[in-house]
């Protein structure tokens, strides 16, 4: 299937104002306004429609309480916010330089489990339906699909442990048929692929295989969530992180480690035998999307600190760095002093760009029709530039730095698809990078567990370090979350939170224009050759937006530019 030739994307004629509001299959409330001329997007605005004000809520509270508030900003991202808050207080009080190795390992293990959970759910349940026609599997030849399944499963390793059988595939086809025959389509009721759509090009057999794994992933993702809870006590909203380490002494016992390993084994098999093979199989039919949806600048914080390296981003297994103008061979060192947030086009009172330590959250809503101020998100910039964060940025930075695993698996995926590195700068590249990041995290997880077991065998059972709360301090916690660079910034006065700022991945990626009127990364990506075949079913917008896995959730309104009529759709 890697030899499938890219086909020109179908495009609509004329001029259309397309409004996707709300965007679905994301977390939160996002609105996309686009102007389409002759089948291409020529202007776009990404608008967050929800004001939370967590920074305001945190003022005056004990710094130790921050993690319990911030991780509840989202039921999906949960742990990464707790980790960022804990890391920023660790940094403020100085204990990040003395964190016990076991604490670092356990924090890393829960983060790795969240990466695996998030990326599997994203590919199958949030993004795949932009490319996979579930009802298309009704015309699939089950015997032929079983042959494809056996071949595809060997994409990563020659002896896969998971191969969809003819019986499994027939059961999936029968299930879909019974749903369609009943007329009660449930979550597929308003799917864009119903009735046929020119932008969906998978053959019936690949649709059937992907749908089979879509259903299997619903069960598998529970195991990844349970793996987080082995050490994290529960999921969502883990309860094991404390300033100076972790509190889960049970995590040092054979029972807990073996429970984690048992869940991890099933997750690993699914990633190796289903996720990565499906990613490559589906992508091989959409190679035209390797030249659509690209951006220019990229930044990664890196992740999984080494022993004693919580305060040193360069100690991390996955490395931090910044790339400008798509120059992979010239990775710059990340400098947190170069981050600023702009509010000129956001629903906040005007002010000059500010570093997060000096950040102000002062809301000033104007109107939904305001083209100047149009989002509750601020516009983060690095050196004044619009900068993409997330799996693609992480892959590019580490590929450019020569990280052995990233070089190996980026080249592996590019080779399977028979495309060059330029294909990474696209919607397809962004989706592929998420799978690569998941695979590398998955393979590294076993090493982390072995490090923990080795410490325990040596009698090293420390998991927390004592510390004292200063009267005044500043600190920052950097987490390279599944969606990208996340940072929490704290200013402590009188041992209380005086100021707290969250700069989150989706703010970097989906924020509005800045003081220099530069579009945010999602806006930039949608302006990069995005075709629209049917303005009333703009699945192409969803493909690029979903490739960022937005954490902000939402129907579609399409406004006819000539008549002004608004057509409303509930979008899957």
Determine what percent of the chain falls in helix, strand and coil, rounding each to the nearest 5: 45, 15, 40
Locate tokens 């937005």: which residue?
Answer: 550
Give me the catalytic one of 506, 514, 524, 540. Answer: 506
Q: Please tell me the distance from the alpha carbon of residue 146 to that of residue 164, in angstroms, as a whole number.
A: 7
Give me the catalytic one of 274, 442, 514, 554. Answer: 554
Buried b (16+ CB within 10 A) or exposed e, 206-221: bbbbbbbbbebbeebb
Give me the catalytic one of 25, 27, 342, 381. Answer: 27
Closest CA to 46 of 16, 23, 14: 23
CB proximity list for 547: less than 8 A, separation 6 or greater: 127, 293, 427, 430, 431, 525
What are the CA-CA distances from residue 158 to residues 24, 151, 215 (Å)?
37, 10, 24
Q: Please tell me the distance from the alpha carbon of residue 389 to that of residue 299, in angstroms, as a whole number.
A: 5
Looking at residue 362, the DSSP 8-state letter turns out to be -
Residue 186, class by beta-carbon neighbours within 10 Å (0-12 exposed, 13-18 middle, 19+ buried)? exposed
Give me the catalytic one of 29, 81, 381, 543. Answer: 81
Closest CA to 21 of 37, 6, 33, 9: 33
Give me the catalytic one of 248, 438, 514, 551. Answer: 551
Give me the catalytic one of 74, 274, 395, 438. Answer: 74
What are the CA-CA distances from residue 257 to residues 244, 272, 352, 448, 514 (Å)?
22, 22, 50, 11, 47
Buried b (16+ CB within 10 A) or exposed e, 528-551: bbbbbbbbebbbbbbbbbbbbbbb
Give me the catalytic one of 46, 77, 284, 438. Answer: 77
Is 395 catalytic? The answer is no
Give me the catalytic one of 29, 213, 342, 483. Answer: 483
**Contact of 242 with 463, CB cutoff 8 Å:** no
Chain centroid offset of residue 207 CA: 24
Closest CA to 138 of 199, 193, 220, 198: 193
Is 554 catalytic? The answer is yes
**Contact of 77 with 481, CB cutoff 8 Å:** yes
Chain centroid offset of residue 184 CA: 31
Torsion of CA 539, 544, 550, 552, to 10 degrees: -60
Q: Which residues pair with 246 in a beta bridge?
A: 241
**Contact of 403 with 365, CB cutoff 8 Å:** no
Q: Please tell me the distance from the alpha carbon of residue 546 to that of residue 527, in angstroms, as a whole number.
A: 15
Upper half-sphere CA count for residue 288 (Cβ side, 13 Å):
15
Torsion of CA 17, 23, 28, 33, to 10 degrees: -10
**Contact of 533 with 199, CB cutoff 8 Å:** yes
Is 483 catalytic? The answer is yes
What are the CA-CA distances from residue 475 to residues 54, 357, 365, 528 (Å)?
18, 9, 30, 38
Is 77 catalytic? The answer is yes
**Contact of 77 with 551, CB cutoff 8 Å:** yes
CB proximity list for 185: less than 8 A, separation 6 or greater: 179, 191, 194
Q: Which residues form the catalytic set?
A: 27, 74, 77, 81, 483, 506, 551, 554
């Amino acid at each position: 299937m890697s030899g499938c030739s890219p086909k020109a994307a179908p495009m609509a004629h004329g001029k259309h104002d397309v409004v996707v509001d709300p965007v679905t299959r994301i977390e939160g409330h996002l609105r996309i306004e686009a102007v389409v001329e002759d089948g291409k997007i020529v202007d776009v605005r990404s608008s967050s429609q929800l004001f939370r004000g967590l920074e305001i809520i945190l003022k005056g509270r004990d710094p130790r309480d921050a993690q319990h508030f911030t991780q509840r900003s989202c039921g999906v991202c949960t742990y990464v916010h707790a980790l960022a808050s804990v890391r920023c207080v660790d940094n403020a009080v100085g204990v990040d330089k003395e964190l016990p190795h076991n604490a670092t390992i356990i924090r890393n293990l829960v983060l790795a489990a969240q990466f695996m959970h998030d990326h599997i759910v994203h590919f199958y349940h949030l993004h795949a339906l932009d490319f996979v026609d579930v009802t298309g599997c009704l015309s699939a030849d089950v015997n032929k699909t079983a042959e494809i399944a056996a071949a595809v499963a060997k994409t990563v390793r020659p002896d896969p442990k998971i191969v969809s059988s003819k019986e499994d595939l027939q059961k999936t086809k029968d299930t879909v048929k019974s749903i369609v025959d009943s007329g009660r389509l449930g979550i597929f009721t308003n799917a864009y692929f119903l009735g046929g759509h020119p932008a969906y090009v998978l053959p019936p057999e690949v649709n059937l295989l992907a749908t089979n794994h879509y259903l299997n992933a619903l069960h598998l993702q529970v195991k990844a969530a349970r793996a987080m809870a082995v050490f994290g006590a529960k999921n969502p909203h883990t309860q094991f992180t404390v300033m100076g380490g972790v509190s889960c002494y049970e995590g040092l016992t054979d029972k807990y480690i073996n429970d984690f390993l048992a869940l991890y084994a099933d997750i690993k098999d699914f990633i190796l035998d289903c996720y990565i093979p499906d990613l490559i199989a589906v992508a091989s039919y959409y190679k035209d999307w390797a030249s659509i949806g690209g951006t220019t600048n990229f930044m990664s914080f890196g992740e999984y600190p080494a022993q004693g390296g919580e305060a040193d981003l360069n100690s991390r297994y996955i490395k931090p760095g910044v790339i400008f103008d798509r120059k992979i061979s010239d990775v710059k060192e990340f400098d947190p002093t170069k981050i600023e947030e702009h509010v000129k086009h956001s629903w906040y009172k005007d002010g000059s760009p500010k570093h997060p330590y000096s950040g102000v959250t002062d809301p000033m809503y104007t109107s939904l029709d305001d083209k100047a101020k149009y989002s509750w998100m601020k516009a983060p910039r690095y050196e004044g530039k619009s900068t993409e964060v997330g799996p693609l940025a992480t892959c590019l930075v580490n590929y450019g730095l020569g990280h052995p695993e990233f070089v190996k698996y980026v080249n592996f995926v590019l080779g399977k698809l028979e495309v060059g590195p330029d294909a990474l700068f696209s919607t397809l590249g962004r989706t592929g990078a998420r799978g690569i990041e998941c695979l590398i995290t998955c393979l590294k997880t076993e090493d982390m567990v072995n490090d923990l077991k080795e410490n325990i065998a040596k009698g090293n059972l420390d998991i927390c370090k004592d510390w004292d709360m200063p009267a005044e301090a500043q600190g920052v916690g950097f987490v390279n979350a599944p969606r990208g660079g996340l940072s929490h910034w704290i200013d402590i006065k009188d041992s209380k939170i005086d100021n707290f700022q969250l700069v989150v991945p989706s703010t970097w990626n989906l924020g509005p224009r800045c003081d220099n009127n530069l579009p945010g990364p999602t806006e930039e990506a949608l302006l990069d050759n995005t075709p629209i075949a049917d303005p009333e079913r703009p699945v192409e917008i969803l493909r690029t937006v979903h490739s960022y896995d937005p954490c902000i959730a939402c129907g579609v309104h399409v406004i006819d530019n000539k008549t002004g009529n608004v057509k409303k759709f509930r979008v899957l």
